[in-house]
Amino acid sequence: MALYVHKYGGTSMGSTERIRNVARRVAKWVRAGHQVVVVPSAMSGETNRLLGLAKEIWPGKAGDAYHRELDQLAATGEQASSALLAIALQAEGLQAVSFTGWQVPVRTDSSYTKARIESIDDQHVRAELDAGKVVIVTGFQGIDAGNNITTLGRGGSDTSAVAIAAAIRAHECLIYTDVDGVYTTDPRVVPEARRLNTLSFEEMLEMASLGSKVLQIRSVEFAGKYKVPLRVLSSFTPWDIDIEEEAKSGTLITLEEDEQMEKAIVSGIAFSRDEAKISILGVPDHPGVAYRILGAVADARVDVDVIIQNVSKDGKTDFSFTVPRADLERASLLLRDKVLPELGTDQLVTDAKIAKVSIVGIGMRSQVGVASTMFRTLSEEGINIKMISTSEIKTSVVIDEKYVELAVRALHRAFGLDQ
């Protein structure tokens, strides 16, 4: 007997019939002798519906009091799906009980709408498992030190599931989604993309941060930190598929040292269209300038990704960096109003029509010429590189958005990922 955490996304919980199928799948695992904790998302579209109601009532910007109520509101979506799943499991003849995040409790900080998990008390969950019950825990939510309900941000149910798996020392955390694993790239862009049998935590972390939407990045961070094996698999396979076959399906995300790890130099191609570039021209080239620019942006909670500073000429330099496209206007206004006057320049140039394309693979550590292959491939396709960022297991380039699909297809072929 092993202990598993099952996580089901909103599409998997999208109707009463799909909830019944989830219950039948979970029942299969329980009847095979396993203990199961289930972390469901809200039914598909429900969180958007709830937040839309709040926006209808007050479309303007508001402070912590407003965001506290948003969390109170949004958390009800998972509460409803968890209760419905418990009822469905009871209809299957199993004992089942659902808990909200505050009943466990899942302790978080007080950053409403984007809280971070600080601790999980597993005693309540373990007691119910030992009593022979299936335990359902609402994803996406917790409770802060002031007993206020908090939510973890979009995709937070993935993080909830991994954190619970870490707390109860689960054998594996199964992330059931609407895809059957992690692919070498998006199959909608490259039909020849292959499903990967295994990935390291490092590779998955890079792919999640670079634009792959399969897993929330914080869930992968949690899994790597606490060494929780993750398996991404489809909830749309027949629920009565043989359990041994199901347990080996999808993509296993685990330690790099796993002997089964694929040895390809490049494991996947990630890309993101949600990018924008900001350039400040004529910046004084002296210590502290980068901090004055990026510190102000960080204080505004805008993420910065690729950074380039040009060679100094006549004591001046140009400073460029990328931000999420949704934050471009806010970051630009902040820089124009507060930072540029201090630097003695008014030259700020923005570009919202860029994209980032990245190659990822642990095999890149021990191979030379990987980046040059990437650059040569893009050159042969007539694609100009605007910015470059590298690490041990990834190389990213910023290019014009209109070339992103061409770049992904060309790189996928160049590194033999369709083989």
Asked whether residue 188 is marked as a ligand-binding residue, the answer is yes
Q: 37 and 173 share a domain?
A: yes
| Angle between the N-to-C axes of helices 16-31 and 64-91, in degrees from 0 to 180, rounded to the nearest 10 | 60
Q: Judge whether 263 lies within some domain.
A: no
Asked whether residue 146 is marked as a ligand-binding residue, the answer is no
CA angle 188, 193, 198 (to 5 degrees): 125
With bands split at pLDDT 50, 70 and 90, how would you rate the model's confidence at 262? very low
Q: Residue 7 — φ and ψ, nearest 5°?
A: -120, 130
With bands split at pLDDT 50, 70 and 90, how would you rate the model's confidence at 261? very low
Q: 211 and 277 share a domain?
A: no
Last residue of a domain, one of 228, 254, 280: 254
Q: Judge whether 14 lies within some domain.
A: yes
Integer Cα distance of 332 and 330 in angstroms: 5
Q: 249 and 306 share a domain?
A: no
Integer Cα distance of 67 and 34 in angstroms: 39
Q: Judge whether 419 lies within some domain.
A: no
Q: 360 and 410 share a domain?
A: yes
Asked whether residue 317 is marked as a ligand-binding residue, the answer is no
Q: 335 and 227 share a domain?
A: no
Classified as helix, coil or strand, 351 is strand
Chain segment 293-325, per-residue pLDDT in tens: 999 999 888 989 999 988 777 788 999 999 999
Integer Cα distance of 130 and 115 in angstroms: 30
Q: 309 and 274 share a domain?
A: yes
Asked whether residue 313 is marked as a ligand-binding residue, the answer is no
Integer Cα distance of 209 and 202 in angstroms: 11
CATH number at residue 300: 3.30.2130.10
Asked whether residue 33 is marked as a ligand-binding residue, the answer is no
CA-closest candidate to residue 103, choices 76, 122, 89, 84 = 122
CATH number at residue 170: 3.40.1160.10
Asked whether residue 47 is marked as a ligand-binding residue, the answer is yes
pTM, two decimal places: 0.85
Integer Cα distance of 205 and 190 in angstroms: 21
Integer Cα distance of 198 and 224 in angstroms: 14
Integer Cα distance of 239 and 386 in angstroms: 47
Q: 78 and 209 share a domain?
A: yes
**What is the predicted pLDDT for the residue at 264?**
65
* Parallel, antiparallel or unpaired: strands 172-177 and 268-284: unpaired
Asked whether residue 213 is marked as a ligand-binding residue, the answer is yes
With bands split at pLDDT 50, 70 and 90, how would you rate the model's confidence at 87? very high
Asked whether residue 28 is marked as a ligand-binding residue, the answer is no
Q: 92 and 224 share a domain?
A: yes
Chain segment 210-243, per-residue pLDDT in tens: 767 788 888 998 899 999 999 999 999 999 999 9
DSSP 8-class letter at 170: -
Residue 390 lies in domain: 268-414
Asked whether residue 55 is marked as a ligand-binding residue, the answer is no
Contact of 359 with 266, CB cutoff 8 Å: yes
Q: 233 and 299 share a domain?
A: no
Give, in order, the Cα–Cα distances in Å from 395 to each of 29, 303, 382. 41, 19, 19
Asked whether residue 8 is marked as a ligand-binding residue, the answer is yes
Asked whether residue 92 is marked as a ligand-binding residue, the answer is no
Domain count, the chain: 2
Give, in order, the Cα–Cα distances in Å from 47 to each of 43, 136, 137, 215. 8, 19, 17, 18
Q: 249 and 333 share a domain?
A: no
Per this entry, what is the length of the chain?
419
Please report the sign of the dihedral spanned by the C-alpha atoms of residue 33, residue 37, residue 39, residue 44.
Answer: positive
Q: 367 and 303 share a domain?
A: yes
* Parallel, antiparallel or unpaired: strands 251-254 and 198-200: parallel
Q: Judge whether 26 lies within some domain.
A: yes
Asked whether residue 240 is marked as a ligand-binding residue, the answer is no
Instruction: Compute the chain's Rg from CA coordinates.
Output: 23
Bridge partners, 4 (sequence order): 36, 172
Q: 356 and 277 share a domain?
A: yes
Chain segment 26-61, per-residue pLDDT in tens: 999 999 999 999 999 999 999 999 999 999 998 876
Mean pLDDT of 93-107: 97
Integer Cα distance of 185 and 219 in angstroms: 20
